[in-house]
Amino acid sequence: MIDNRETYQQYIRQDQRALGRQQDARPRFFGDEIWKFEILLRKVEFDINCRHGAAGKLIGKWHKIWFHRLSVRLGFTIPPNVFGPGLSIPHYGTIVVHGNVRAGKNCRLQEGVTIGATNGSHEAAVIGDNCYFGSGAKVIGAVRIADDVAVGANAVVTKDIAEPGTTWAGAPARKISGRDSHSNLCGALFADEPCRSTGAQSDSVRSTSKTQQRRLPR
C-alpha cells in the first residue's frame, strides 16, 4: 500500500515497467489513456492514504473527478488500494474489481476480467504476486490465489488455487499445466530486459478472438 511519497514513486515506476514503458518516457498528450489511468489510480491512493488538511482534500477531490471520468471512458471499475505495484492493463474494455480484493505485485488484467464477491458478501479474493488473468476470466468469492498463477481466458475460479506457478482454465477452473505466469508478464519485471509492449500471452491462455489481441498504445 502507498503510505508515503517514496512508495508512491515506486508504484509509479513499477507500473511503468509492467506496461512496457521506458524509464524516462511520459504519457502522450493524446493517447496512452491506460497509462494515464494507472497514474491517476496511484495519485488517488496517495491522496487517500497520505494527504491531510484542506489543501490536500482539495487536490484529492480533483484527482478523484478525473479518475472517475477516465474510469468510465475506459470501462474500468478498479477501486484504490487493491493492487500492488506493477499493475498492467494492456487493452481497453470492461474490467470489474471488488473494493475488498487484495492483490500483490505485478498483476496483469486482460479485458473482460471480473474479480468479485458472491451473494452480497463483502469478502473477496486475495491474490498473490505475478498473477495473470486472461480475457473474460472470472474470480468469484473469497478465494485465495497463490503466486505466479495464470488464469486462462474465460476461466471461472470459485475455489482456492493453492499451488503456485500453475496455469488454470475452464469453468469451473482446473489446472491444465505446471507452467507459471511469467511468459504472460513483462520480462523486465524479472530481469534486465525490455518489455514487449504487445502483451504476449502463452498458447495455453491466449484468447482466440482477434479483437482481443489489439496492441498496447504506444
pLDDT in tens, the chain (218 residues): 999 999 999 999 999 999 988 877 888 888 899 999 999 999 999 999 999 889 888 999 999 999 999 999 999 999 999 999 999 999 999 999 999 999 999 999 999 999 999 887 889 999 999 999 999 999 999 999 999 999 999 999 999 999 999 999 999 999 999 999 999 999 888 865 444 443 333 333 444 333 333 333 33
CA distances from 51 to 5, 10, 61, 145, 205 (A): 10, 17, 11, 32, 41
Strands 95-97 and 114-116: parallel
Please tell me the predicted confidence (pLDDT) of residue 192: 56
Handedness of CA 93, 107, 34, 210 (dihedral sign): negative
Tell me the DSSP string of 43-104: HHHHHHHH--HHHHHHHHHHHHHHHHHHHHHHTEE--SS-B-S--B--S-S-EEE-TT-EE-
* Cα–Cα distance for residue pair 192/85, rounded to 1 Å: 18
* Interacting residues of 191 by C-beta distance below 8 A, sequence separation 6+: none
| Helical pair 53-74 and 33-50, crossing angle rounded to 10 deg | 150
Q: What is the predicted pLDDT for the residue at 120?
A: 79
Q: What is the largest distance, in Å, between two alpha-carbon atoms of the chain?
A: 53
Instruction: Return the C-alpha cell found at 22.
Output: 521506458
- Burial label for 210, CB within 10 Å (0-12, 13-18, 19+), is exposed
Nearest CA among 106, 133, 143 for reference residue 205 = 133
CA distance 64 to 48: 10
Considering the domain 5-182, what is its CATH architecture? 3 Solenoid (2.160)
Report the side by side order of strands in the sheet with 126-127: 102-103, 126-127, 144-145
CA nearest to 125, candidates 67, 182, 83? 83
